[in-house]
Structure 1
Amino acid sequence: MHGGGVVTGVGGSWRTPLLMALVVLVGVAAFGWPFLASPGSELGQMGHTNDASFLFVGLMTLMALVLLAEMSSGGVDAKTVAVLGVLAAAGGALRVLSAGTAGLEPMFFLLVVAGRALGARLGFMLGALALLASAFLTAGIGPWTPFQMIAAGWVCMGAGMLPRASGRAERWLLAAYGLFCGLAYGVVMNLWFWPFMGDSAPAGAGYLPDAGAATNLGHYAVFYVTTSLAWDLPRGLLTAVLTLLASGSLLRALRRSLRRARFDAVGEFADAR
């Protein structure tokens, strides 16, 4: 087993990295296409009302293909998929408990720790499915849902890609990452609606299609500090504190469960140094 990820079979399929690259590209395109709109276009009349459903279908299709590719190459089996489902349901339940009050969302603690244990590929699916589960539980499904799924998937994916560490160093690494992703999630999520706010944006904080990148970056910084930072900072701090206090025992439990789920896998062992 390498790093913090799940044990995988030897000789993984080339299809899985290709599909994951497509998932990431779809996410980047979904958030970023408004910034490529031609100057003078009426972005305020566009929004994501029409394309959100297509994004959701495309995202779910790609995730299903990634899971099938992992199963066909021996990377995961039905037991690992069951663990993934349980974690997604737990993440959704944690988000329902907090309802995002004052930005306090303990779900992100689970996403960071479980993403570390699962690895980047399964971690992305966990983050996306956990957000989808919480949307169903709270009747909060809307055009923002696929964007939340992508952003939460990136949180888990990033945890699975962190450098190798163990013990206290790993807990501090995950805590620092938890603080970072608590802020980064808000920075990214604002982009799903910010370019379309038009005149409803605060003065000096709206997106201007005919302005340069530096001007819009400054406007977004003003928008983020005045509207989003007060919500994102508590999320990051809570995630960091919970991770520092409880990640050790939870990581051990998750890794033990994943090893048992993949008891027939052929392991790859790395030098302990």
Structure 2
Amino acid sequence: MSLAGVVAFGWPLLVDPGTTFSHSTDAPLLFSLLMPLLLAVVLAEISEGGLDVKAIAMLGVLSAIGAALRPVGAGTAGLETVFFLLILGGRVFGAGFGFVLGATTLFASALITGGVGPWLPFQMLGAAWVGLGAGLLPPLRGKAEIALLAAYGAVAGLLYGVCLNLMFWPFTTGLDGELSFVAGAPLTDNLQRFLVYSLATSLGWDIGRAITNIALVSLTGTVVLRTLRRAARKAAFEAPVEFTPAAHGTTRPAGSDMRG
């Protein structure tokens, strides 16, 4: 899925001069590819033990919460209030869970807010990568973990903005020569133009998103991580049953009380 996403974001950089293209044609194809592959990720995680009943239930709960939180910030000045939840959820439940959580949260949010359009599959992929990366971070605990997640939130907020810029930039018209995309130009030239475009048009919003992630992870990280981990332990539906010998030679489930 990530490879398909890289191709979807970057293919305009490789087209021939004079080529006409539009996300109104490739976005439906990407979306039709994205949904079955998401299902494939879920099934693969279930078969490998990465997701069980409790994790699937938690996926639905966190996706609904994230979809409700997103309109609170609405992206104004980069105030995105949903990414911290993707980071914390991916941290607790793993990279596969975080990937699916990011995609389903943005999809549910778009349905609620009417934000369905050619940009949606690209937003889903960008958010999925945010959750994926959180699940791949090294194991830490305490203040060091919060600091790590806050730093990751800052980087992820900036990179998410870069990804969405890359989706939109080739189709932006009315820009001068230093900012505009030139179909068929050398890759290094277009990347330089893209860097200038990002710095000039969206850096302020991206920094706002990064600061929002740092603040929300720092303020809520300890409590939310503890809550999610407690929920994962208490809802251990898949915990194995072990049998230990009883005093009189029979067997009984570990932890059971024979007095009753």
TM range (shorter): 0.7 to 0.9
Q: Please, which of 88, 101, 124 is the counterpart of residue 99 of structure 2? A: 124
- Contact 1:80–1:262 (8 Å) recurs in 2: no
2:60 aligned residue:
85
Paired-residue identity, %: 49
Q: What aligned pairs does 1:15-54 form with structure 2 within 5 A after superposition? A: 23-38=1-16, 40-42=17-19, 45-54=20-29
Deviation for aligned residue 1:263: 4.1
Map of 2:136 onto structure 1: 161
TM-score normalized by structure 1?
Answer: 0.84
Structure 1: which amino acid aligns with 2:102?
G
Hey, what's the Cα distance between the residues in 1 that align with 2:79 and 2:197? 21
1:236-255 matches, within 5 Å, as 236-255=210-229
Give me the TM-score of the superposition, normalised by structure 2: 0.88
> In the aligned structure 1, how far is the partner of 2:124 from the partner of 2:44?
21
Is 2:55–2:93's contact at 8 Å kept on the other side of the alignment?
no
Q: Is the 8 A contact 1:77 1:262 kept in 2?
A: no
C-alpha distance in 2 between matches for 1:261 and 1:41: 58
SS in 1 for 2:24: coil
**Residue in structure 1 matched with residue 235 of structure 2 by the alignment:** 261
Equivalent residues of 1:76, 1:262 under 8 A apart? no
Match of 1:60 among 8, 19, 35: 35
Q: Cα gap change, 1:67/1:231 in structure 2, threshold over 3 Å: closer, same or farther? A: same
Deviation at 1:58, TM superposition (A): 1.0
- Match of 1:51, SS state, is helix
Q: CA RMSD in A?
A: 1.5
Q: Which residue of 2 aligns with 1:175?
A: 150
Per-residue deviation, 1:102: 1.3
Please report how far the alpha carbon of residue 139 of structure 1 lies from its aligned counterpart in structure 2 after TM superposition: 0.3
What is the CA distance between 1:26 and its match in structure 2?
1.1
Partner Cα separation in structure 2 for residue 207 and residue 147 of structure 1:
19
CA distance in 2, matches of 1:83, 1:29: 31
Q: Is the 8 A contact 1:96 1:137 kept in 2?
A: no
Where 2:25 maps in the other structure, the secondary structure is: coil
Is structure 2 residue 113 aligned with structure 1 residue 113?
no
Q: How far apart, in 1, do the equivalents of 2:25 and 2:239 lie?
A: 44
3-state SS, counterpart of residue 193 of structure 1: helix
Query: Is this contact kept in 2: 1:92–1:137, CA < 8 A?
Result: yes
Aligned partner of 1:183: which letter?
Answer: L
Structure 1 contact 120–160 (Cα < 8 Å) conserved:
yes
Asked if the contact 2:15–2:184 (Cα under 8 Å) also holds between the matched residues in 1, the reply is no
Q: Which whole-Å CA distance do the structure 2 matches of 1:129 and 1:244 have between them?
A: 24
Query: Which digits, 9 at most, give the CA deviation of each residue in 1:80-103, with x for residues without a partner?
Result: 111001101111111012211111
Residue of structure 2 in register with 1:8 after alignment: none
User: Which string of whole-angstrom CA distances, capped at 9 and with x for unpartnered residues, describes residues 216-235 of structure 1?
Assistant: 12211111111111111111
Q: For 1:49, what is the secondary structure of its paired residue? A: helix
Would you say 1:98 and 2:73 are equivalent positions? yes
The Cα shift of 1:41 comes to 3.3
**Aligned residue for 1:9?**
none
Q: Does the C-alpha gap of structure 1 residues 242 and 46 become closer, same or farther in structure 2, counting only changes over 3 Å?
A: same
Report the secondary structure of 1:84's partner residue: helix
Contact 2:50-2:96 at 8 Å conserved across structures = no
**Gaps in structure 1 of 5+ consecutive residues:** 1-22, 267-273
**CA distance in structure 2 between the partners assigned to 1:66 and 1:154 by the alignment:** 13
Q: Is the 8 A contact 1:171 1:244 kept in 2?
A: yes
For 1:74 and 1:176, locate their aligned partners in 2 and report how far apart those are by CA, in whole Å: 29
Pairs aligned (count): 240
